[in-house]
Structure 1
Amino acid sequence: MDMAKDLRGREALRALVRRSAAAVATAGLLLTLAGCQGGDEGADRAADGGAVVVAPGRPGEKARTLTPEQAAKAKPDDSPNAADRAYVQRMIEHHRQALTMSALAPERAGADGVKRLADRISAAQRPEIGAMEKWLTVHPAPSGESGGHDGGHDHAAMPGMATEQQLEELTGARGTDFDRLFLTLMTAHHEGAVKMAGEVLAAGNNVAVEEMATEVVATQSAEIHRMRAMG
């Protein structure tokens, strides 16, 4: 009796597994058929075994089956505009001044925390300059576009930029005086960078610039909080 019950139990388990597998296969077939429906060119190509792209629909709408050509045409245009190019050109100059100020810290700062902060700023912004310079070589300004150099590299026109006098004062400071002035100037500098990033996020069009600006907002906002706590 026990053996018979065991055999019946095993057979029932096998039947359950077979039914489950059949259900999964059926569901997969239905999903495949649903993806091919729509009566458009992409669905026709899917039926013929050609390459297709499944584009998710809006909330409440079905996904669409597109040909690669249709998908390429449907892709949003993210070509750079004047705001993108102006931001990149200006931010390169902005970052360079941050490197100039940070380079003074190793021999002039009194607090180790200020020295470490300056080192982190240099480590982050130096490669960002390289990335932005590379972006400009790929996306040069068209003929006739000013490019956003603020009237010939007028640094004072960019938010947060230190004046020549302030840089001279920072260069001549030592110890706690340097620390205090460095944190004051660099906080204002970062706030200016965040403002510039926010402006291009509102007015720009290029995805790569959007990513760079978003990184500036995240990184420099965190450093602003850190510097205020140090001050």
Structure 2
Amino acid sequence: MFNKRTLIAVVGVLAASLTLSACSTASTDTGDNSPGSSSDASATFNDQDVMFAQSMVVHHSQAIDMAQVILDKDGIDPRVTELAQDIKDAQGPEIDQLNGFLEQWDAPADMEGMDGMDGMDGMSGVMSEQDMADLEAATGTEASRLFLEQMTVHHEGAVEMAQVQVDEGQDPDATALAEKIIKDQNAELELMDELLATL
């Protein structure tokens, strides 16, 4: 009887031990996979990523406005019109992508209520209200040249902003977009320089 009880006790202890071990392993596995990945997800962006997305949305929006001014005019060099359309076609989807980042990060879509020209003060490469008025008033070759000159400054500012993101940002997707902006706009800077030389 004693031996039987002892055997039952030993079996009980072993069973309990195996159960606890299994629970402990399951707990550890869950901890490694779930919280770890959620922690990684929450740490994929920093303040620079947010600033990049917010400011580049505004910067791109002005570039599209400038391009539209040229597209609405008659008598513009067709090469300049083509460039304006390319800029509009490229930067519109990038704005959507940037806004998608902000939504994903649960960050505001604007920089503390930044809106219109006032919100662009101090942003690299942006045009003033007077600059935009001059572009709207210009015609023909003068308009083509002014657009190229203004967009050159604008692109240089965007490249500068994107480089800060590459250097200081944390989110890999936002940084990849910044690298694309640098590549694409540097190529357009070269093209604008060539066009200006022929007008």
Instruction: Name the TM-score, length of structure 2 as normaliser.
Output: 0.73
Is 1:170–2:132 an aligned residue pair? no
After superposition, give the CA deviation of every residue in 1:107-162 in whole Å (9 maximum; x if it has no partner).
325200000000000010001111111111111238xxxx8838834213110000
1:199 aligns to 2:164 (yes or no): yes
Aligned to 1:50: none
The alignment status of 1:112 with 2:78, answered yes or no, reads yes
Paired letter, 2:158 = A
Please give the secondary structure, in 1, of the residue aligned with 2:95: helix
Distance 1:224 1:118 in 2: 13
Q: Distance in 1 between matches of 2:112 and 2:106?
A: 17
> Kindly, what percent of the aligned residue pairs are identical?
31
Cα distance between partner residues in 2 of 1:228 and 1:151: 36
Q: Structure 1: 5+ residue runs without aligned partners? A: 1-66
Could you tell me which runs of 5 or more consecutive residues in structure 2 were left unpaired when the two chains were aligned.
1-28
Equivalent residue, structure 2, for 1:91: 56
Alignment partner, residue 92 of structure 2: 126
Paired with 1:194 and 1:120, the residues of 2 have a C-alpha distance of 17
1:103–1:148 CA distance, 2 compared to 1 (3 A): closer
CA gap of 1:217–1:205, structure 2 versus 1, over 3 A, is: same
TM-score, normalisation: structure 1: 0.63
Q: Secondary structure of the residue that 1:152 maps to in structure 2?
A: coil
The 1:170/1:150 distance shift into structure 2, 3 A limit, reads: farther
Q: Give, as a single letter, the amino acid of the residue that structure 2 aligns with 1:149.
A: M
- SS at 1:104 equivalent: helix
How does 1:16-35 map onto structure 2 within 5 Å?
A: none
Matching residue's letter, 1:94: H
The alpha-carbon deviation at position 203 of structure 1 amounts to 1.0
CA spacing shift, 1:81–1:148, aligned 2, 3 Å: farther
Query: Partners in 2 of 1:217 and 1:102 — Cα distance?
Result: 19
SS in 1 for 2:45: coil
TM-superposed deviation, 1:104: 1.2
Of residues 20, 29, 46, the one that matches 1:81 is: 46
Higher helix content, 1 or 2: 2
Q: In structure 1, give the amino acid aligned to 2:94.
A: E
Task: Point out which structure has higher relative CO (alpha carbons under 8 A, 6+ apart).
Answer: 2
The residue identity in structure 2 corresponding to 1:160 is G
Within 5 Å, which residues of 2 pair with 1:5-24?
none
Match of 1:137 in 2: 103
Match of 1:31 in 2: none
Aligned to 1:149: 111
Q: 1:187–1:68: structure 2 CA closer, same or farther, 3 Å change rule? A: farther
